[in-house]
A and B are shown apart, each in its own frame.
Chain A
Amino acid sequence: MSIVEFKKVTKRFGALLVLDQIDLSIEAGEVVVVIGPSGSGKSTLLRCINALELIDGGNLIVDGISVRAGGSKVRLIRQEAGMVFQQFNLFPQMTALQNVAFGPQRVRGLSRREARRQAREMLAKVGLADRVDHYPGELSGGQQQRVAIARALAVKPKLMLFDEPTSALDPELRHEVLRVMQALAEEGMTMIVVTHEIAFARKVGTRLVFMEDGKIAVDGSPSDLLDSPDNVRLQEFLQHVA
């Protein structure tokens, strides 16, 4: 069974049709890279998966649960689908350690002690063992984003959603975040990544989805699509971002 399954999903903001009858199945272990022009619906696609946006038509099943199931069921989906935001969105009143321990303690119900132990482990994994007691304001953008990844991973999700995780970062800080994401992919994590990092799509992605006007215009293997795009709009788009 697919871990994420879009069935004719429609999403509108007022009169604007943002997702137009999307059909898309994602299997466990896939690393799906989503690209497309601004406003094509990439973020919305991602945010429908963990029900930060409610869908208007069709159905969307995540790990066996419909995003329309409501309340506590939706919270189960969110626990299985970690999200990393473009703007990090770390909790500013908490240290890196507290940010990461927060989910295990308040969502998974672990003891404070055990939550902190796991948080330390997670922070070490993203290369921040020496920054556990720093507040977000005291960390660089790249470090903040790695804390945010650790925070999402600490809840032990089956699936990770990334919405332009490196777009807010200076170019020289991007690689440290991309490296963490690559390591995660190599461990077998299922990932859906909205990004303009074409090199990452080629190297780490197992599948590339090109969105346009709320539709999936192209869906295939990254190397095939990047080396010989037969879709004209994709060709144009790639020339723009490269």
Chain B
Amino acid sequence: MEFEWTVVVDALPALLKGARLTILIALAGLTGGLVVGFVSGLMRAYGNAAVNGLAFTYIELIRGTPIVVQVMFIYFALPTLADIRVDPLTAAIIAIVVNAGAYIAEIVRGAFLSVHKGLREAGLALGLPVWKVLVYIIGPVAFRRMIPPLGNQFIVSLKDTSLFIVIGVGELTRQGQEIMAANFRAVEIWSAVAILYLVMTGTLTLILRVTEKRMRIL
């Protein structure tokens, strides 16, 4: 069987449209996931028993269930349960926020707790309040340590968006699936889809490498 380049060329506009949606979901989802992850990670690291328990429950619920189940729940179960209706794109973004948030929380917690306690004491001994010690001393050291695992999570979440095919979001994988169903050119279409994912994850890796180089890990 010949590899037909014209199939790829014809499919490209639709695939690129899908890729754009993939990027949008990942970007919006990870931005929200970072906020949720930082808050719940700090709750885990420094909260009292109640606050800590709350964050712990959230993290374990999410880490213990597949992301496909989570997005199905948001899209199909929430309308029945709580009369909350969302469109597929919103459901997809919320799923990434909630899912990545849980993993990022563990990254944040680990990074903050890995900072030598002598730094905290040195900050306190100068007469700083605890929050300033966290913001100016522990935070910057912890943040540098987070970059490699965060990068990893970004790539995982980006690829996880392909699972939202199950709720019919027109992201890259869904677009590939639809074109394939019409022309049956599996080799050309899935090669093109795979390469588009590689371009996106490759770019992300490159950005992370540069960031890591700029900020020495301490």
Chain B residues with CB under 8 A of A152 = 125-126
Q: Indicate which residue in B116, B125, B144, B218 contacts A52 across the interface (CB closer than 8 Å).
A: B125
Cβ-defined contact, B126 with A89, below 8 A: no
Q: Indicate which residue in B116, B119, B126, B129 contacts A103 across the interface (CB closer than 8 Å).
A: B126
* Residue B186 CB within 8 A of the other chain: no
Cβ-defined contact, A52 with B124, below 8 A: yes
Q: Indicate which residue in A76, A83, A93, A106 contacts B125 across the interface (CB closer than 8 Å).
A: A83
* Residue A87 CB within 8 A of the other chain: yes
Q: Indicate which residue in B124, B132, B136, B144 contacts A78 across the interface (CB closer than 8 Å).
A: B124
Q: A87-B118, A91-B119 are in contact. Are A102 and B136 (CB under 8 A)?
A: yes
Cβ-defined contact, B136 with A106, below 8 A: yes
Cβ-defined contact, A89 with B118, below 8 A: yes
Q: Indicate which residue in B121, B136, B218 contacts A85 across the interface (CB closer than 8 Å).
A: B121
B196-218 Cβ-contact flags toward A at 8 Å (1 or 0): 00000000000000000000001
Main secondary structure of the interface of B (DSSP, over half): helix
Chain A residues with CB under 8 A of B218 = 92-93, 137
Among residues 14 to 57 in chain A, which have CB atoms less than 8 Å away from a CB atom of chain B? Answer: 50, 52
Chain B residues with CB under 8 A of A79 = 126-127
Q: How many residues of B contact A (CB 8 A)?
A: 19
* Residue A107 CB within 8 A of the other chain: yes
Cβ-defined contact, A78 with B137, below 8 A: no
Among residues 5 to 45 in chain B, which have CB atoms less than 8 Å away from a CB atom of chain A? Answer: none
**Chain A: minimal CB distance from B217 (Å):** 10
Cβ-defined contact, A107 with B137, below 8 A: no
* Residue B113 CB within 8 A of the other chain: no
Q: A78-B126, A91-B137, A93-B140 are in contact. Are A52 and B132 (CB under 8 A)?
A: no
Among residues 75 to 109 in chain A, which have CB atoms less than 8 Å away from a CB atom of chain B? Answer: 75-79, 82-83, 85, 87, 89-93, 102-103, 106-107
| Closest A residue by C-beta to B137 | A91
Among residues 160 to 188 in chain B, which have CB atoms less than 8 Å away from a CB atom of chain A? Answer: none
Q: Indicate which residue in A75, A76, A85, A137 contacts B122 across the interface (CB closer than 8 Å).
A: A85
A131-166 Cβ-contact flags toward B at 8 Å (1 or 0): 000000100000000001001100100000000000
Q: How far is the CA of A161 from the CA of B37 in the complex (A)?
A: 39
| Closest A residue by C-beta to B138 | A91
Q: How far is the CA of A89 from the CA of B140 in the complex (A)?
A: 15
Chain A residues with CB under 8 A of B118 = 85, 87, 89
Q: How far is the CA of A102 from the CA of B116 in the complex (A)?
A: 19
**Chain B: minimal CB distance from A164 (Å):** 13
Chain A residues with CB under 8 A of B126 = 78-79, 82, 102-103, 106-107, 151-152, 155
Cβ-defined contact, B127 with A89, below 8 A: no
Q: How far is the CA of A93 from the CA of B123 in the complex (A)?
A: 13
| Closest A residue by C-beta to B140 | A93
**Chain B: minimal CB distance from A45 (Å):** 15
Cβ-defined contact, A50 with B122, below 8 A: no
Residues of A within 8 A of B (CB): 50, 52, 75-79, 82-83, 85, 87, 89-93, 102-103, 106-107, 137, 148, 151-152, 155
Could you list 21 A-B pairs, sorted by A, with CB under 8 Å?
A: A76-B127, A77-B127, A78-B124, A78-B125, A82-B125, A82-B126, A85-B122, A89-B116, A90-B122, A91-B119, A91-B123, A91-B141, A92-B141, A93-B141, A93-B218, A102-B136, A106-B132, A106-B136, A148-B122, A152-B125, A155-B126
When A and B form their complex, which 4 residue pairs have the shortest distance between CB atoms, in order from nearest? A79-B127, A89-B122, A89-B118, A78-B127
Residues of B within 8 A of A (CB): 116, 118-119, 121-129, 132, 136-137, 140-141, 144, 218
